[in-house]
Amino acid sequence: MIDLLVMLIMVAVGGVLICAGVFFMPVGGAPAAMSTAAGIATGCEMMAAGSGITGLLMAAALYSQPSYIVMINAGISSGIMMCVTMLVANLIVVFGKGVPPALATADKDPVTKEYVRAYVTPGTVGHGVPTACFVSGFIGAFLGGVGGSLTFIPVLRVALSKALGQPIDLFGAIEGIEAWHNYVPFFVLAGICALAMYFINANIAAYSIRGVIEGWWDPKFKKLPKTALACFVASLVFSLLLLLLFSNEAFVKALSSLLQLGGG
């Protein structure tokens, strides 16, 4: 029972982290694809899910490690995905369109303290991914990856412990379990729940961002506390559904019958 309550809190906190991550990401949306706004040329949900998935895959590969190691590694995986994407987006902006990266919501770059207003094309609100957006994007993707693994880890471990009928530590290393074909449905369950969390929380954050945000210096960033509260409540509802699912005897029976299949 304690495990279920801890899972409830972990999932809700994960939702808040994903929401904060989306606020940090330099989301440019459609205008960025035309070099009319600074940031990455895609929407919040897709950027959050795209970077989060890399972290989820890493979390699945390291499933038996202690939780904090899984979280840090998932966060770094998401961060690397974001960094490579932003670097190549800049390569295309610089060599494909011939414009230097520049942001428009501040006169000076908040990280390098350079005066960047002069590089912004008149009629646009910046283009490319300047250094401050890049750093902000890395932080955002890291938070998003940690948030996603905060859903993945407890769901996987609670499902496994329910099916096996033995307690599994939610934070420590898993010992004595070697994943085989019949364990795959548990990873799928945890993966789909974490993927759903990305879409739910990124969507709520997208309402506050309304298309474009550059980073932590953007005026829209001030909406983070209220949006984070909304995400906390939404994630809590989601995790309550998970709690109901795991309290259902028929579901637990179905899970443990999966383990009897053997697979191969």
Partner 1 sequence: MELSTIFLVLLGIFALIVLLITIGGWFEDVESDMGSQSNPNSQVQLAPQVGVLHRLFNKAIAGEPVTHGTNGVIGATLFTIFWWGFKWHPALAVAIAAALTMLFHMTLSTTAHVGRITSANIFGQPLYYDVILTQLPLIASHAFVLTSAFVAVSYLFYNLFFAAVDAVRLGGYLGYPIAIPLLGLVLGITAGAIGSSTGDVHYGAEREFQHALYGEGIPMGLHGHITVRAEVGYRMSMDVAYFCAKYGGPLSGFTYGMIILLDNFRLLAGNVLSNVVVNVAIGIAAAVTLILINRYLEVWARRKFGPYT
Site for partner 1 in 96-155 (CB under 8 A): 96-101, 112, 118-124, 126-131, 134-135, 138
Chain positions 172 to 231 lying near partner 1, rule: CB under 8 A, are 179-181, 183-185, 187-188, 191-192, 195
What is the nearest approach in angstroms of partner 1 to the Cβ of residue 2?
Answer: 27
Nearest Cα neighbor of 205 from 194, 193, 213 is: 213
Nearest Cα neighbor of 188 from 255, 118, 132 is: 255
Q: What does the radius of gyration of the chain's CA atoms come to, in whole angstroms?
A: 20
Chain positions 38 to 67 lying near partner 1, rule: CB under 8 A, are 40-43, 46-47, 49-51, 53-54, 56-58, 60-63, 65
Give CA–CA dist 33/36, Å, rounded.
7
Kindly indicate which of the ranges 12-20, 26-34, 158-166, 221-229 contains the residues binding partner 1, using the contact rule CB under 8 A.
Answer: 26-34
Interface with partner 1 includes 86 (CB under 8 A)? yes
Residue number, 188 or 244, with CB nearest to partner 1: 188
Kindly indicate which of the ranges 4-12, 82-90, 216-224, 239-247 contains the residues binding partner 1, using the contact rule CB under 8 A.
Answer: 82-90
Interface with partner 1 includes 254 (CB under 8 A)? no
Q: What are phi and psi of 109, to 5 degrees?
A: -65, 120
Helix (H/G/I), strand (E/B), else coil: 115? strand
Write the CA distances from 141 to 51, 54, 93, 151, 152, integer angstroms.
6, 10, 21, 16, 16
